Structure 1
Amino acid sequence: MEYLTNGSPRQTAGEEDSSHCFQRRVAMVSSPALSAARLTLPGVMDAEGRVDESRLRMHIFKNGGVSPSERGLAWRFLFGMYPCSSTALERPLLQEQLAIRYQVMKRKWQQFLPSAVRMHLNGTDAELVAAVRYFDQRQARVQQQALDQSEVRDRLTFLELQAQILFERDTFDHEELREAIRIIDKDVPRTNRDLSYYQGEGSGNLLVLRDILITYAAFHPEVSYAQGMNDLCSRFLEVLDSEVDTFWSFSCYMEKFSKDFRADGLHRKIELEAALLKELDPQLYTHLVTDNMESFTFCHRWLLLGFQREFEHSDALRLFEILSCDHLELISQQVDRARYQERLARKYSTEDNSQSELQAINTDFTFELFICAAILLDNRESLLRCRDDVQLIQFTSSLQGTLDLNSTLKKAEHHFYNYCKRCAWDYMNGRCSAHKSKEEDFLYQLRSLFVLK
C-alpha cells in the first residue's frame, strides 16, 4: 500500500501551478503569529523585541528552563532560527522567507525522487494508516483557509523565485538519498508514539517529521541521516509545532552537534566522559575500565540523545534546553581565560616561579558530561557490583524514567564547581601567605561565576 505524506493525495510534486500551490504550502507550515510574540522573561527582551542572548541563556540555566508556555518562542532564539538582534517587526518577514526556502528545498527533492514522496507501508501499522488520513484532512483544511490570502501572492512569488535561485545549484546523489530515506522510513514509525503530540489526529505529525528529516538529509549530504536523529528532531517538532520552524531550528542545532552522529565524534565524547570520571572518582573509573568494561558504551544513548529516556518527558525537555544554553561551557572558558591571565602575571613577575604551572581546565568537559558523571556517581555502589558490559547495560537500562532532574542538576553543578576549584587549588596549595589575598580574590571571582541551586 502507498500513502502520500505531503500535499494532496491526488497530485504529485510539481503538478500544481507554483504561485497558487506555494501560497497554500506556506500557510500549511508557518506560524506568523508567533513571530510577533514576546518573551515575558525579565530583562530578556527589549521594547522593540530584540533578545539579550546572554540573559536568555542565564535565565534558562538559573531557573532550570523556561515555562512550557514560553518554550516555543524561547527555543526559536536559543537554537538560532530567529537572530537575537531581530525586532518584532522584522521577524514576520523572516518567517515568510524561511517558510518559502524550506518549501523550495522540499519540493526539489520530491521532484528528484517522486517515488519517495509516498511512504511505503505494508498496511499492518494501523496508527500510521490513520496518520495518513488525519494528515490529508488537516492539509485540506489549511489549504482551504489559505485561499483567502491572495493579497500576499505577489510577495510570496518573488520570495519563491529568490529561493529557487539560491538552491538552483544543489544536486543530489540518487543512491545516497534513497538510502537515507530508507532508514528514515524505518525510524520514523519507531518515534515515541506514547507522546500526546502523536496521539489521535496528531499521528499525522509523524509524516511531518519524515518530510523534515528527508529535507535535511537531502541538503546536508555531508551529514545525511543517522539513527537517533528522528528522536532528536521530534523534540523540536513537539515544542515548536511547526514544520518550517522545526526544520530551521533542527538544522541550526545540527551545525554544532552533527559530529555526535558520526562514530569518531561520539567516540571522542565517550573518551571525555571516561577522562572526567577518572578526575572525579579514580576508583570507579578503574573498575569500569577493566577488561570486561573498557568502552563506556553504556553511556552512548545518554550522550547521543541528551538523556531523553532517563527522565520523565517534561523534565527531559527541560534538561535539553538547559544543556543547550551552554551556560557552564561559556563559564569554563571565562575561568580558563582568568587563569591564563594569572599565569601571565606570574610569568612576568620577579618572584620565584619554580613551582608547577597552573593546570588548565579542560573546556572539552561540557556540562552534559557532568550530568552523566553525576548519574554514575549517584549509582556508584551498584556500578561497582557490575562485572561486565551486559550487567552494566542492564543496570543503566533500569534507570529509564526514574531519575530526578533537580537533584541530578544540583549534583552535576556541584561536581563542575569542585572540578574547577580543585584545578585552581592544585596550583595554589603551598603558596606563601603573602599571596593569600590574591588567591582568595581569584577564588572569589571563580565562585561568583556559578549559581548553585
Structure 2
Amino acid sequence: MTLVWGKPRQPPLGSEEWATFLDSEGRVMDAKAFKTRIFYGGVEHTIRREVWPFLLGYHAYDSTYAEREYLKSTKKSAYETVRQQWQSISTEQAKRFTKFRERKSLIDKDVVRTDRALPFYDGDDNPNVNILRDILLTYSFYNFDLGYCQGMSDLLSPILFVMEDESESFWCFVALMERLGPNFNRDQNGMHSQLFALSKLVELLDSPLHNYFKQNDCLNYFFCFRWVLIQFKREFEYKKTMRLWEVLWTHYLSEHLHLYVCVAILKRYRNKIIGEHMDFDTLLKFTNELSGHIDLDAILRDAEALCICAGENGAARIPPGTPPSLPIESENAFLYAQDDEVL
C-alpha cells in the first residue's frame, strides 16, 4: 500500500473559534468543517457542554438556540416522567420485581467504583455518584429490553462530568447508546461483529500480525474486547478519553474509526507481540497493561493513516450494521421527533 501519514494534531477548538461556526440564530453553518476541525484537535473543556450534544446527535446541526432551549425543557419533563416510574416502586412491590432488584443491585455496585479517584466523584455520599445511579436506573426503564450492563457506567461518567445536568446527561447518554447499545446485547452480536471486522482490517493492513494471530489461535480478538466495549475508556486518563471520544463521534473518515485505533495500537506493538511469542493469555494481560501507556496523538495519526490506506477495501471488510452504524442524521430525526411524546 501507498505510505500515508496522518496530519498533525491541532490545538483544541476554543470558544471564539466555536462562535465562528454558528450563525446569528445558533445554527452550525458548516457541519462537515466543524467535525473535521474537532477530528484534528478536539474541544476545549469549557465548551464541551455546548459541543458534545451536537457530536452525539442529541442536537441537530441546523437547530437554533431557541429550538435547543425548547428541546431541553421538553426533554427534562420526559426524563422526570421515566425517572418517576422506578422511584414510585414500593418496597413491597420491589420484593416481587426480580428484574428491578437485580438491575438496581448491579448499578449500585458499579457506580461506587466508577472514576472515584476524580474529585467530581470522590468522597462518601457524593451527590454526583447518586445522580450517576439515578440516570442509569432511569435508562434501564427507558430501554427496558437492554436494561443495564456492566460498562455502561463507564460510558455515562464523562458525559455527566461534562454536562453537569441530570436530564441533559441522560439524553446525551441515550443518544450515545443509540450507537453503542449493541455492544451490550446479551447475544454479544454487536461485539462479535466488531471483533470480526477488526480481524479483517488487521488481515488487510498488517498481514504478518494477522498470520501470527492465526497461528496462535488469537483470531477471536477477545484481547481487544474492553477497548471496543467501552471505547478505550480505561486505556487513557480521563482528559485524553474525552478527547478521543469527541474525535470518534465526528464520524470523520469512518464511523468505525475505533477499529482503526485498535489496529494502530496492535501494529505499534507488533514486534513485541511476535518477538515475545505471546499466546492468548499473555496477549490479554499485555493489552490490559497498556492502560495509561498509549500515546493518544500518535495513535490517532496512525489510525487516520490506516483508515486512508484501507480506503474502500477497509470499508468493505466491515459488515453492514456493525456498531456504531446509526447515522447522525437519523439520530437527530429520532430525538427531535420525540419532543412532544409522552413517555
Report the TM-score when normalising by structure 2.
0.80
Q: Paired residue for 1:376?
A: 266
Q: Paired residue for 2:334?
A: none
| TM-aligned CA deviation for residue 404 of structure 1 | 1.0
| TM-aligned CA deviation for residue 55 of structure 1 | 3.2
Any gaps of 5 or more consecutive residues in structure 2? 1-14, 315-343
Q: Confirm or deny that 1:65 pairs with 2:39.
A: no
Residues 273 and 108 of structure 1: is their aligned pair in 2 closer, same or farther, counting only changes over 3 Å? same
Q: Paired residue for 2:240?
A: 315
Deviations 1:397-422 (A, max 9, x none): 22111111111111111111111288
Paired AA for residue 189 in structure 2: D
Deviations 1:299-351 (A, max 9, x none): 00011111112223211110011001101126xxxxxxxxxxxxxxxxxxxxx
Q: Paired residue for 1:293?
A: 218
Any idea what SS the aligned residue of 2:66 has?
A: coil
Paired AA for residue 264 in structure 1: N
| TM-aligned CA deviation for residue 368 of structure 1 | 0.7
Q: Paired residue for 2:81?
A: 104
- Alpha-carbon RMSD across the aligned residues, in angstroms, is 2.4
Q: Confirm or deny that 1:192 pairs with 2:115.
A: yes
Paired AA for residue 393 in structure 1: L
Question: 2-side partners of 1:221 and 1:407: how far apart?
Answer: 40
Counterparts of 1:43-442 in structure 2 under 5 Å? 43-52=20-29, 53-62=31-40, 64-113=41-90, 174-200=97-123, 203-262=126-185, 263-329=188-254, 366-384=256-274, 385-420=276-311
Is the CA contact (8 Å cut-off) linking 2:121 and 2:129 kept in structure 1? Answer: yes
Any idea what SS the aligned residue of 2:117 has?
A: coil
Q: Percent identity?
A: 33
Is the CA contact (8 Å cut-off) linking 1:60 and 1:325 kept in structure 2? Answer: yes
Paired AA for residue 49 in structure 2: G
Paired AA for residue 282 in structure 2: Q
Q: Paired residue for 1:358?
A: none
Deviations 1:176-225 (A, max 9, x none): 23222121112111212112211258822111000000100112012111
Paired AA for residue 197 in structure 1: F
Question: 2-side partners of 1:114 and 1:67: how far apart?
Answer: 45
Question: 1-side partners of 2:42 and 2:93: how far apart?
Answer: 39
Paired AA for residue 164 in structure 2: D
Question: 2-side partners of 1:115 and 1:403: how far apart?
Answer: 50
Residues 182 and 411 of structure 1: is their aligned pair in 2 closer, same or farther, counting only changes over 3 Å? same
| TM-aligned CA deviation for residue 292 of structure 1 | 4.2
Q: Which moved more, 1:386-395 or 1:316-325?
A: 386-395
Residues 279 and 202 of structure 1: is their aligned pair in 2 closer, same or farther, counting only changes over 3 Å? farther
| TM-aligned CA deviation for residue 80 of structure 1 | 2.6
Question: 1-side partners of 2:117 and 2:282: how far apart?
Answer: 28
Residues 257 and 193 of structure 1: is their aligned pair in 2 closer, same or farther, counting only changes over 3 Å? same
| TM-aligned CA deviation for residue 260 of structure 1 | 1.2
| TM-aligned CA deviation for residue 49 of structure 1 | 0.8
Paired AA for residue 137 in structure 2: I
Question: 2-side partners of 1:175 and 1:215: how far apart?
Answer: 16
Paired AA for residue 307 in structure 2: F
Is the CA contact (8 Å cut-off) linking 1:61 and 1:322 kept in structure 2? Answer: yes
Is the CA contact (8 Å cut-off) linking 2:107 and 2:148 kept in structure 1? Answer: yes
Paired AA for residue 260 in structure 2: F
Question: 1-side partners of 2:195 and 2:287: how far apart?
Answer: 15
Deviations 1:378-435 (A, max 9, x none): 0011111243222112211221111111111111111111112888xxxxxxxxxxxx
Question: 2-side partners of 1:197 and 1:206: how far apart?
Answer: 9
Question: 1-side partners of 2:93 and 2:292: how far apart?
Answer: 36
Report the TM-score when normalising by structure 1.
0.61
Question: 2-side partners of 1:280 and 1:369: how far apart?
Answer: 12
Paired AA for residue 387 in structure 1: M
Q: Which moved more, 1:400-409 or 1:84-93?
A: 84-93
Is the CA contact (8 Å cut-off) linking 2:85 and 2:141 kept in structure 1? Answer: no
Any gaps of 5 or more consecutive residues in structure 1? 1-37, 118-172, 331-365, 424-453
Question: 1-side partners of 2:265 and 2:216: how far apart?
Answer: 23
Q: Paired residue for 2:336?
A: none
Paired AA for residue 55 in structure 1: A
Is the CA contact (8 Å cut-off) linking 1:110 and 1:116 kept in structure 2? Answer: no
| TM-aligned CA deviation for residue 114 of structure 1 | 5.3
Aligned residues: 296
